[in-house]
Chains A and B, each alone.
Chain A
Amino acid sequence: ETGVTQSPTHLIKTRGQQVTLRCSSQSGHNTVSWYQQALGQGPQFIFQYYREEENGRGNFPPRFSGLQFPNYSSELNVNALELDDSALYLCASSRLRQGVSTGELFFGEGSRLTVL
């Protein structure tokens, strides 16, 4: 149990709709990253939020956007959904270990999005 929680766990949308996914990071973590994992593939980095600002972005279009709140929880928003957006969306938070970041990520169980 990583202490990272995501909601909803499953959802179904249709093409063109918008979706918001939510993530609560582990206590003491101030950085949240979002990943997209298509079926049979490894996770792909979408973006990272640190101190409420985007701090790094992968190769995803602008219709993928996010927010981080003062309590370090985060949202991922996807507009104009496409069929290829069907995937498991993973949220991950990180911590410092002995004052040094090892880069270890703590993941939630993900939100499985199906776009019809």
Chain B
Amino acid sequence: AQKITQTQPGMFVQEKEAVTLDCTYDTSDQSYGLFWYKQPSSGEMIFLIYQGSYDEQNATEGRYSLNFQKARKSANLVISASQLGDSAMYFCAMRELGRGNNDMRFGAGTRLTVKP
């Protein structure tokens, strides 16, 4: 069974600094995808970044990067140069690829607060 663990219920970061949000996962499949989503108070889940299990390089998307350590089964999100608008809930998620379904499993989330 898949399992996503986010051990940080809440995190604080000073504006313009970098922050790392932790995520570990558990799966017996070799082919899977890892995702990070941002959820502001409006409720919409906003896709941030994707990492495939066979990708050799860490994914980057603007200020977001994913620190993928396959052997440790971790997929931490790094946000550089934090902005006030980054304050939100952040969810790590995983899906087994190739099945053609969208059974994406989410962690419990981390609430990030950016301080001015």
Contact = CB atoms under 8 A, between A and B. Distances in A.
A107 B44 contact: yes
Interface in A94-116: 94, 101-110, 112
A104 B101 CA distance: 11
Contacts of B45: 43, 90, 92, 105, 107
Contact of B50 (A94, A104, A106, A109): A104
Contacts of A94: 102
Interface residues of B, number: 26
A108 B102 contact: no
Contacts of B44: 2, 107-110
Interface string A45-61: 10010100001101000
Given A104-B47, A108-B44, A110-B43, A42 B107 contact: yes
Contact of A45 (B50, B103, B108): B103
Contacts of A106: 47
Contacts of B25: none
A56 B102 contact: yes
Interface in B57-76: none
A43 B90 CA distance: 12
Contacts of A105: 35, 45, 47, 102, 104
Which of B93, B95, B104, B106 neighbours the largest number of chain A CB atoms within 10 Å of its CB?
B104
Nearest to B32: A103
Contacts of B43: 88, 90, 109-110, 112
Nearest to B34: A103
A108 B102 CA distance: 15
The 9 closest A-B pairs by CB, nearest first: A42-B106, A107-B45, A56-B101, A33-B102, A109-B44, A110-B43, A103-B95, A103-B33, A48-B102
Interface of B: 4, 33, 35, 37, 42-47, 50, 52, 91, 93, 95, 97, 100-109
